[in-house]
A and B are shown apart, each in its own frame.
Chain A
Amino acid sequence: MRKVYVVGVGMTKFGELWERSFRDLFVEAGIRAIEDAGVDGKEIEALYIGNMSAGLLVKQEHVASLIADHSGLASLHIPATRVEGGDASGALALVQGFSSIASGMYDVVVVGGVEKMSDVMAEKASEVLATTLDQEWEAFFGMTYASAYALMAKRHMHEFGTTEEQMALVSVKNHSNGSKNPMAHFRFEVSLEKVLSSPIVSYPIKLLESHAVSDGASALVLCSEKKAKEFESPVEISGIGQASDYIALHDRDNIVSMASTIEASKRAYEMSGVKPEEVDVAEVHDCFTISEIIAIEDLGFFKKGKGGQATEDGDTEIGGKVAINTSGGLKARGHAPGATGIAQVCEIVLQLRGEAEKRQVDNAEIGLTHNLGGSGGTCVVSILRRRR
């Protein structure tokens, strides 16, 4: 298997971007990634796009053709493919791009993600997110995306004594990080009191513990080792793992950990030879605060049941044991589902290059991304390394 490198990153600001359309968003991110890498459009051999639900959100399917076309690639007729795995769609595009280079099929590909959430009313956006759950046996009875995670939160509290304060502190940290990220949807800090007193969405989850509903796009230029030598600061994708699990919570052995995260990370750690304790900085899928707590346990950063305490102890802050969600995470950087997994990689690459400005983790050498689909039926973990 050949080594794969990230040589260009680009994203739009995440937010309610009223003036920009679905297609405009991706073009902006794609051009930024290509300019960051300094490649010519003619060098791109294939395009993989992560998108969760353009069909329901902007009534557009056949997304890959549309995006290749408006990105100015129609006349080159390159293969363009959309991949979908709920809100893990972006990371699935990364897996496809990675595989296509690792296999020797291509030397330069663009992978990206895009989602346009604000062209529908908020209720519709929530309904679309709930389509990542089992429609017949979860959503049918009134379960929402937030309430799926609320069930996990309540059980985590019951089994491990995790507190509402500990969960709220995830939001406080991620807002603090997001306030330092120019691309973040929410660039302001929140206090613990403010999070705890915000309206309940689905007990015990509160509004200020819930991901931002964002428009946004993100893109990466990936290349082979041979090609990477032409670039200034390539970052190696030294491990990648993807896993699936039972789509519905009721079919799992337990709901206080995610088997998909455990398996995906095991595969990524094995491929890279990296151990959890060596990771300096990680972007994890904090769609709700409990999700970050479960993820940092399942990824091996902290013991099962200790994620809340680790958060309270400051172990996940910039300067802590492992900096989690320096971008602000899904909470503050935002959650544009198809774009989220790739935006996570953008942040890690900036950290490993030392370009993360006010949120820079000192001397970050190894980074990790963790992207979930739905309530954990899909997970992708990637491990990135600065080239020494």
Chain B
Amino acid sequence: MTEGVARFWREIPHRYRLLGSKCDSCGRVFFPPRVLCPECRRKGNISRVALSGKGKIYSYTIVKDGANGFERQVPYVIALIKLEEGPLVAGQIVDCSPDEVEVGKPVELVFRRVSEDGEEGIIYYGYKFRLAEEEN
């Protein structure tokens, strides 16, 4: 165990429920949430907003040389998802063969174990994505 708990705990609403933020002045939606709008800055007014978790694959990669703590998951897919509400979000695409992943395919959010801090540390949970039915 090497990490403190608070660093993870404070992000739980965003990582478990995809709670983002929105600037009420310009209407821009942010995920991950921001406390300052990069357009309006101090003239902005930030509020919280829950996101749908639905979106389309903007780009992806199939990771063969995994990050520390992710070695047992290789090969895994990391993608940038264009959410319906506007922002891009980075996350894994699971429950499919990497060969099925393509730019433009629709995805939806799932709640999963992400990684763990060694054998004795906390287990990190959060969002991942899976391929969804094409909407007509």
A: residues with CB less than 8 A from B are 123-124, 126-127, 130, 136-144, 146-147, 150-155, 158, 199-205, 246, 248-251, 255
Tell me, yes or no, whether B1 is within 8 Å of chain A by CB: no
Verify A142–B66 contact, CB threshold 8 A: yes
Verify B103–A155 contact, CB threshold 8 A: yes
The B61-80 residues at the A interface (CB cut-off 8 A) are 61-70, 73, 76, 78-80
B124 / chain A contacts, CB cutoff of 8 Å: 140
- Residue of chain A at shortest CB distance from B91: A141
Known: A141-B90, A154-B103. A127 touches B68 (CB 8 A): yes
A142 / chain B contacts, CB cutoff of 8 Å: 63, 66-67, 69-70, 73, 76, 78, 92, 114-115
Tell me, yes or no, whether B52 is within 8 Å of chain A by CB: no
* A246–B103 CA distance with the chains assembled, in angstroms: 23
A158 / chain B contacts, CB cutoff of 8 Å: 59, 103
Having A142-B63, A142-B92, one finds 9 other A-B pairs with CB under 8 Å, namely: A123-B68, A137-B32, A137-B90, A154-B60, A154-B103, A155-B103, A200-B64, A202-B61, A202-B63
Tell me, yes or no, whether B116 is within 8 Å of chain A by CB: no
Known: A251-B88, A255-B80. A143 touches B60 (CB 8 A): no
Looking at the complex, which one of B63, B64, B88, B92 makes contact with A250 (CB distance below 8 Å)? B88
Verify A151–B80 contact, CB threshold 8 A: yes
* A282–B124 CA distance with the chains assembled, in angstroms: 44
Known: A136-B11, A141-B90. A155 touches B58 (CB 8 A): yes
Q: How far is the CB of A6 from chain B (nearest CB, A)?
A: 36
Tell me, yes or no, whether B89 is within 8 Å of chain A by CB: yes
B106 / chain A contacts, CB cutoff of 8 Å: none
Tell me, yes or no, whether B87 is within 8 Å of chain A by CB: yes
A147 / chain B contacts, CB cutoff of 8 Å: 61, 63, 78
B11 / chain A contacts, CB cutoff of 8 Å: 136
Give me 30 A-to-B residue pairs in the complex whose CB atoms sit less than 8 angstroms apart, sorted by A's number: A126-B67, A130-B67, A141-B91, A142-B63, A142-B67, A142-B73, A142-B114, A142-B115, A143-B67, A144-B65, A144-B66, A150-B63, A151-B59, A151-B79, A153-B61, A155-B58, A201-B65, A202-B61, A202-B62, A202-B63, A202-B64, A202-B65, A203-B62, A203-B64, A203-B98, A248-B90, A249-B80, A250-B80, A250-B87, A251-B87
Q: How far is the CB of B77 from chain A (nearest CB, A)?
A: 9
Tell me, yes or no, whether B53 is within 8 Å of chain A by CB: no
A202 / chain B contacts, CB cutoff of 8 Å: 61-65, 78
B126 / chain A contacts, CB cutoff of 8 Å: 140-141
Q: How far is the CB of B105 from chain A (nearest CB, A)?
A: 12
* A163–B90 CA distance with the chains assembled, in angstroms: 24
Q: Interface majority SS on A: helix, strand, loop or mixed?
A: helix
Considering residues B59, B69, B91, which has the most beta carbons from chain A within 10 angstroms of its beta carbon?
B59
The B35-67 residues at the A interface (CB cut-off 8 A) are 38, 58-67
Closest 8 CB pairs of A and B: A150-B61, A203-B62, A250-B88, A155-B59, A142-B70, A151-B59, A201-B65, A137-B32
* A200–B98 CA distance with the chains assembled, in angstroms: 14
Verify B32–A201 contact, CB threshold 8 A: no
* A248–B92 CA distance with the chains assembled, in angstroms: 16
* A124–B92 CA distance with the chains assembled, in angstroms: 22
Considering residues A123, A140, A204, which has the most beta carbons from chain B within 10 angstroms of its beta carbon?
A140
B91 / chain A contacts, CB cutoff of 8 Å: 141
* A282–B71 CA distance with the chains assembled, in angstroms: 37
B61 / chain A contacts, CB cutoff of 8 Å: 147, 150-151, 153-154, 202-205
B60 / chain A contacts, CB cutoff of 8 Å: 151, 154
Verify B88–A249 contact, CB threshold 8 A: yes
* A95–B112 CA distance with the chains assembled, in angstroms: 45
Q: How far is the CB of A35 from chain B (nearest CB, A)?
A: 40
A130 / chain B contacts, CB cutoff of 8 Å: 67
Considering residues B64, B90, B124, which has the most beta carbons from chain A within 10 angstroms of its beta carbon?
B90
- Residue of chain B at shortest CB distance from A204: B61
Known: A142-B66, A142-B67, A202-B64. A152 touches B78 (CB 8 A): no
Verify B59–A144 contact, CB threshold 8 A: no
* A116–B93 CA distance with the chains assembled, in angstroms: 35
A127 / chain B contacts, CB cutoff of 8 Å: 67-68
* A276–B87 CA distance with the chains assembled, in angstroms: 34
A151 / chain B contacts, CB cutoff of 8 Å: 59-61, 78-80
- Residue of chain B at shortest CB distance from A135: B7
* A138–B31 CA distance with the chains assembled, in angstroms: 12
- Residue of chain B at shortest CB distance from A146: B65
Q: How far is the CB of B119 from chain A (nearest CB, A)?
A: 17
B64 / chain A contacts, CB cutoff of 8 Å: 199-203
A200 / chain B contacts, CB cutoff of 8 Å: 62, 64
